[in-house]
Amino acid sequence: MQTLAPVDVVIVGSGWSGMIMGKEIASRTPLSVLVLEKGGGFRGLAAYGREMDEVDTFIRKRQAESPANGLVTTRASSRARANPIRQYGDFPWVGCGMGGSSDHWGATSPRFMPEAFEIATHLKRLHGASKLPPNNLIQDYGITWTDIEPYYTQAEEMMGTSGKAGNLNGKKIEGGNIFEGPRSREYPNPPHPMLYAPQLFAKAAKELGYHPFPMPSSTLSQSYTNPDGISRIGCQYCGHCSLFGCMVGAKASPNFTLLPIALTKKGFSVRTHCNVRRVVHKGAKAVGVIYVDDSGTEYMQPADAVVLAAWTFNNARLLMLSGIGEQYDPMTGKGTLGKNATYAVHVGLEFFLDRPQNIFMGSGGMATAIGDFGGDLGDEGAAEGALRGGLIFCYTQGDPPVISAFGVIPDGEVKQNWGGEWKNAAVKWSDRYGTFLSTENHFPYRQNYLDLDPNYKDKWGDPLLRVTMDWTDAERKQAAFISRKQVEIAKIMGAIAINPRPVPSATSGPPLMVNNHSHGGAIMGASPASSVVNPYLQHWNIHNLWVVGGSALPQGEEHLTLTVAALAYRAADAFINVYLKQPGALA
């Protein structure tokens, strides 16, 4: 194996986490920074125009990680044998190539609720520990709202998030989410236009006494120049958003907002088609990474500091493969690596209207939401065992544009899902429906965790990550509660028909509880006894190893990208301002 010339910092992965760390370190220090990306390079905006094809991009997912390389295995309980994800269709997708999944996201960008960071303390104070669901591993992040707020602002300004503040320095503002934590600044861009059905949603929600607001989106509503001097034009509402690269650069991506800056820095470089297999460590110090290129040749890349930013699951898996930290054991409760694996409780419905919606127009994050059930569910929820919720939001843009948006019909209207009668109904309703969704809080449990699969291996012979996860009664109660609230709004909106889905997970359920919204496995926390990284995302045992990304979140929440970006900024600040001056453990 060839040993390459050492670098100061090696970063694994080029999504938001890796590129925020990379761009900040390369811009603010003289260090050499190398980003290793397992996929290919940034293909440019014209390529994204050519890729506006639903079959190749959205359905076959040509731009995503190939399932043939090995994704993950899943099972609902530790008594079962896990099976691998063999193809897309059963599993959302994993980004691959420069920008990772951050280049193909929907750009929905709410912040977490302020109490989310101290959730254990908060819930125990509110309900008492005995009212929390059995076997829960609910724990605090080790940071507070005040710690993260400036970094939320920084992330929003870098991306150019479009939205409306609902709480500006403590002052509640109608029209924004009045339940959000106090923000230090207004959103950098105004919200997107509100489409027809979301307008009806807003009106109905108000009638019920709720507080509708435009869902924040990191797709630009207008031309914008960010604090780094990056100018991008506003969204064209082409309807090819989630899973597509943005052909005008309006949707925030590390390729648009970070890579162009980083590439001007002398110490910064990127190497694509490099799949990292191990973090090499000697004692309590990381000394570099081993990666393999597409030809199968292995290289040792020495580095003074290692940053893992390789997607939630790959961060945990790389630590496991590298023998760093103690694997969590659900029987004994010992070990921290792989614990607090969570998803998000997806609850949704489809509603039908008598008027066309032009569902092919819009962008991924365009929606109208209410935050009234975005955090605590109050006495009414607690009485039925539903403690925490999520934003309820309404959208009509198909996003997917046409094929995958086809076939939504009121429940019970047709007897089978093919043939003339079905076709008539599917054609009739094809542009006359919309969707509600909530991506809610998901508590961590003792029985939900990550480890290495004993049977299935990736392309290079390394074990796949195994996800063991199932819903509990707490999620079922939560889903029933939120679904009821959703139906109530849809009725007042004047929906002709409603397809409620009062069970957790409108997208995929056990044994397939994995997606690009997965959280945990290498979580942050205040103590090495219950977490893998400290509140700065520095590994508790190896101080020159930083593990950045959704893996750090100790419980499942609302759309996580903005929070992941904020945590990466905070980690970069700690690394540059504190760690470099005196390398050692920061907590």
Which residues are designated catalytic? 517
Strand segments (E) across 98-152: none
Residue list 87-106, contact with other proteins (CB under 8 A): 87, 89-91
Q: Which stretch binds other proteins (CB under 8 A): 56-64, 139-147, 367-375, 538-546?
A: 56-64
User: Binding-site residue total for other proteins (CB under 8 A)?
Assistant: 73
Angstrom distances, CA of residue 270 to CA of 18, 56, 266, 321, 397: 11, 27, 12, 24, 36
Cα 23 to Cα 37: distance, rounded to the nearest angstrom: 15
Residue list 392-431, contact with other proteins (CB under 8 A): 401-403, 406-407, 416-420, 423-424, 427-428, 430-431
Beta bridge partners of 270: 35
Q: How far is the CB of 221 from other proteins (least distance, A)?
A: 10
- Applying CB under 8 A, among 41, 133, 150, 234 the residue interacting with other proteins is 234
Q: How far is the CB of 83 from other proteins (least distance, A)?
A: 5
Whether 9 and 31 have beta carbons less than 8 Å apart is answered as yes
Q: How far is the CB of 52 from other proteins (least distance, A)?
A: 4
- Applying CB under 8 A, among 86, 127, 131, 334 the residue interacting with other proteins is 86
- Applying CB under 8 A, among 83, 121, 447, 530 the residue interacting with other proteins is 83
Site string for other proteins, 439-468 (x = CB under 8 A): ----------------xxx-----------
Considering the rule CB under 8 A, would residue 52 count as an interface residue with other proteins?
yes
Angstrom distances, CA of residue 111 to CA of 28, 217, 277, 534: 27, 11, 33, 21
Beta bridge partners of 452: 465
Considering the rule CB under 8 A, would residue 3 count as an interface residue with other proteins?
no
Site string for other proteins, 493-512 (x = CB under 8 A): ----------------xxxx
The CA R_g of the chain, rounded to the nearest whole Å, is 23
Considering the rule CB under 8 A, would residue 223 count as an interface residue with other proteins?
no
Q: Which long-range contacts (CB under 8 A, 24 or more apart) does 426-431 make?
A: 429/352, 430/359, 430/405, 430/406, 431/356, 431/357, 431/358, 431/359
Residue list 246-275, contact with other proteins (CB under 8 A): 247
Considering the rule CB under 8 A, would residue 356 count as an interface residue with other proteins?
yes
- Of 253 and 363, nearer to other proteins (C-beta) is 363
CA-CA-CA-CA torsion sign (469, 473, 477, 480): positive
Q: How far is the CB of 7 from other proteins (least distance, A)?
A: 32
Whether 96 and 63 have beta carbons less than 8 Å apart is answered as yes
Q: At what angle are helices 16-28 and 561-573 packed, to 10 degrees? A: 30
Cα 559 to Cα 108: distance, rounded to the nearest angstrom: 7
- Applying CB under 8 A, among 54, 115, 350, 451 the residue interacting with other proteins is 54
Cα 401 to Cα 197: distance, rounded to the nearest angstrom: 17
Which one, of 564, 327, 309, 346, lies nearest residue 468 by Cα?
327
- Of 50 and 125, nearer to other proteins (C-beta) is 50
One-letter amino acid for residue 503 of the chain: V
Residue list 179-208, contact with other proteins (CB under 8 A): 192-196, 199
Q: How far is the CB of 253 from other proteins (least distance, A)?
A: 18
| The pairing of beta strand 345-352 with beta strand 545-547 | unpaired
- Of 48 and 445, nearer to other proteins (C-beta) is 48
Q: Which stretch binds other proteins (CB under 8 A): 180-188, 350-358, 479-487, 546-554?
A: 350-358
- Of 336 and 363, nearer to other proteins (C-beta) is 363
